[in-house]
Amino acid sequence: MCRLYGFRASEPTKVECTLVHAQNALMVQSRQDQAGYSHAHGWGVATYEDHRPHIERQAWAAYHGEHFRRAAARVYAETILAHVRRATVGPPALENTHPFSEGSLALVHNGTLPSFDLLRDRMLAAISPAQRAAIGGVTDSEHFFRMLLSLRDTRPDRPLIETLREGVDLVRSWSREIAPATPLGLNVILSDGRELVGTRLGRTLHYLERDGVYDCEICGFPHVHHDPKRFYKAVVVASEPITHETWSEMPDGSIYRVGADLGLTVEAL
């Protein structure tokens, strides 16, 4: 298990309160989530600058020391991914810490691929030699990311959500053969900086749509230097509701997209 967070907005926005200060901020969840689990085996934040993800990550708890707080305080972007890790496949180590990234793409994952020691060979067969050589850690999450990159390399003009759908369909099919009685946990958020795509499969996931600039319930101020000529909109996706706002539950077994126009579409897998 892990806890993840994805954010897309029409203008650069600060999310420090969401990540650190809210009643169920990601840093709070790293100590204990709503189910009572800790996620103390690493943290990472990706922010997009010049269409490339800038990654900060460490292999210790987000609530340990000031490193996560300082990283969160620096975040000011239109597209943001964040993650706190509870290690299930692979020990706590920097190379096993999310987000994983290459080029414009970054991914975070919450869940576990069942019987990964058996599933891994099938995934490796679907990963190109170049992407296979780039694997730095031992997690199921990174292998899934490299498989998506391989699928995208074969059809680079295909919509990102369709690449994700193909990757999920392959893993679901293999998992049914290898471990039919074990639930698959595959909540992911994948971004190229212009859009977010993701899945909810076997783990909790919620979302929030904000229309217009609002004053933060924590600090009392808006988190954006708003251009009054533009309409502000933001979409937030997270493993658990973070603020007192009205969050909606993402349907289990779904795939979703937050496009460049900030429209959210949800479909069944």
- 249 pLDDT above the threshold of 90: yes
Taking the alpha carbons of 232, 47, 2, 195 in that order, is the dihedral positive or negative? positive
- 34-66 pLDDT, tens per residue? 999 999 999 999 999 888 999 999 999 999 989
Total number of residues shown for the chain:
269
Instruction: Judge contact between 197 and 256, C-beta under 8 A.
Output: yes
Task: Tell me the average pLDDT across 249-261.
Answer: 97
Q: What's the pLDDT tens digit per position in 188-228?
A: 999 999 999 999 999 999 999 999 998 898 899 889 988 88
What percent of the chain lies above the pLDDT cut of 70? 100
Banded model confidence at residue 25, pLDDT cuts 50, 70, 90: very high
Higher pLDDT, 256 or 222: 256
Which pLDDT tens digit goes with each residue over 113-130? 999 999 999 999 999 999
Q: What is the pLDDT of residue 65?
A: 83
Q: Is the pLDDT of residue 229 over 90?
A: no
21 vs 229, which has greater pLDDT?
Answer: 21
pLDDT of residue 51: 85
Average pLDDT for the chain: 96
